Structure 1
Amino acid sequence: MAASTVNVEHVTKLLQDSLCELGFEVNPLKIGWYNNVLPASLHLPYPEDTFAVVVLSTPSMFEQAFLPFLEEQSFQGLSDPIDQCVKQCVSSAVSQCFSGQNIAVSYDYELLPSRKPKFLAQTAAHVSGAVFYYQQSDVPQQPWGNKKMYGVCVHPSFGGWFAIRALLVFEDVTVGSELQQPVPPDCVPSREDRIHLLEAFNFNWQDWTYRDIISPVQTYSQKQKDYFGALPAQRLDLLKTWGFLQKDGSEGEVTSDTERQANGHG
């Protein structure tokens, strides 16, 4: 795929055709959009016109991808089952659609040796136009003084009922003016609602009310709520009660992915 002939719509559609039926959403971006809003220490090491795609999971991913993954794969190992499912889905789509291409795939749960995330998921999703990343600085005359308030993304269709899963960087592909940066959908425009959103997320994220800051077209199923509502250490037992894992104790422990919404997970 030569940089001079890449068709953004074609590339995006290939991924959409492969991933959307599994409950994922894909949004294109340029690396420059991402780097331009971050300090140099957090930049991704690619030219600004390098083509990339951010992958989100929608509420239907749980039933359309995760439960079939458990049925087919008989999950085993030490890493989180959701992470393994997402990696399998994305890796399969990349290998099928872009065999032989140099594509760097980073997942939301991956860390650099410095313990920093490989990419800032919420920033990537925001600059792609997929979601709006509401931060403390987005509240005029913010009422919290010196208290640190973590930001949270809101999807125009799903509210907070989604997760940011991966960034695909097409290392040898640059795009020009045919890819224009979209404006993120500001679906929480009022100061009062932004205060409510950030306070609900920072102080009461466990009750998930922040996810309903707008009326979503779809939320997590009750089964999915039960899964993500359980502590990571309890999730294997829950999967066993659903009949997905053997009860011989050989599966190991799940690494903690407790509500990684600060980096777009869960």
Structure 2
Amino acid sequence: MATPCDNVENVVGTLRESLKSLGFEVYPFKIGWYNAVVSQAHHLQYSADTLAVVVLSTPSMFENLFLPFLQGCSWKGISDPIDQCVAHAISTCVSEHFPDRSVDIIYDYEVLPSRKPKFLAQTAAHVAGAARYYQQSDIQDPPWENKKMFGVCIHPRLGGWFAIRALLVWKDVEVGEEMHQVAPTDCVSSQEARIELLERFNYHWQDWTYRNIIPAEESYSPWQQEYFITPPAQRGALLKQWGFLPETDSEVQSSINKQ
């Protein structure tokens, strides 16, 4: 049975305080806001007033959380280090601070048996007011005839230097009308800049210039950039070079290299 909305501020405040120092931001929204803008096939199967929170990682997550995680982990069963680091941090936060709550945690990389994502991460970030999701439909008279252009979220302070990591759903917390939806900041407002953003993202995403479509307060450190630029199959060797992967643990490296 869902509890009244007087728990919302406590839930969001506790989660935000717990995850902020690790390099995460959290933004609450109602499930109904999300379901209102996605197709029936992508609906989240909760009541419209159920509290949800989208979790973003900021550039500081790499140094504040990921590198310490690498130093402290046993490597047993590790496949994708970033994914498992994020999952460990979020699940630990929920279990420690909300032991009596019923919380579903859905990560950005999880898919349904149909191979569809379990949630549309960029849409969730948009409806929560975290980052604006710029799409082809935001362009008047788009210059790309009969071509699908993928959309991308831009954060008002971080530009493209962030990632959407997880969706948390408090199944036993409902939100009333006092929670108002706030539109994400339109930080790429001109048609010219929006066209440039989508072209950078679709045609040149590997050079990351789309991330700098607006001035950012923070960006990825050189180590972080090197890690994410490195193809997944070569990240095991990179971690060994950095001294994080045990020299003798060939089984661990082989597992990482398969990602």
TM-score by length of 1: 0.93
Matches within 5 A, 1:1-266: 3-77=3-77, 79-248=79-248, 249-251=250-252, 252-254=254-256
Please tell me the residue identity of whatever aligns with 1:36: A
Q: CA RMSD in A?
A: 1.4
8 Å CA contact 2:136, 2:150 repeated in 1: yes
Cα distance in structure 2, aligned partners of 1:128 and 1:106: 16
Cα distance in structure 2, aligned partners of 1:256 and 1:212: 31
8 Å CA contact 1:6, 1:173 repeated in 2: no
Alignment CA distance shift 1:238-1:76 (3 Å): farther
Q: Number of paired residues?
A: 257
The Cα of 1:177 is off from its aligned counterpart by 1.5
Please tell me the residue identity of whatever aligns with 2:220: Y
The Cα of 1:5 is off from its aligned counterpart by 4.9
Any stretches of 5+ residues in structure 2 without a counterpart? none
Cα distance in structure 2, aligned partners of 1:57 and 1:78: 20
Cα distance in structure 1, aligned partners of 2:220 and 2:3: 39
Cα distance in structure 1, aligned partners of 2:102 and 2:12: 16
Which residue is 1:262 aligned to? none
Deviations 1:24-80 (A, max 9, x none): 000000000000001111100011100010000000000000000000113343521
TM-score by length of 2: 0.96
Alignment CA distance shift 1:5-1:47 (3 Å): closer
Which residue is 1:261 aligned to? none
Q: 3-state DSSP class of the match of 2:251?
A: coil
Any stretches of 5+ residues in structure 1 without a counterpart? 258-266
Percentage identity across aligned positions? 59
Q: 3-state DSSP class of the match of 2:165?
A: strand
Q: After TM superposition, which residue ranges in structure 1, 4 or more long, deviate above 6 angstroms?
A: none
Alignment CA distance shift 1:34-1:157 (3 Å): same
Q: 3-state DSSP class of the match of 2:75?
A: coil
8 Å CA contact 1:131, 1:155 repeated in 2: yes
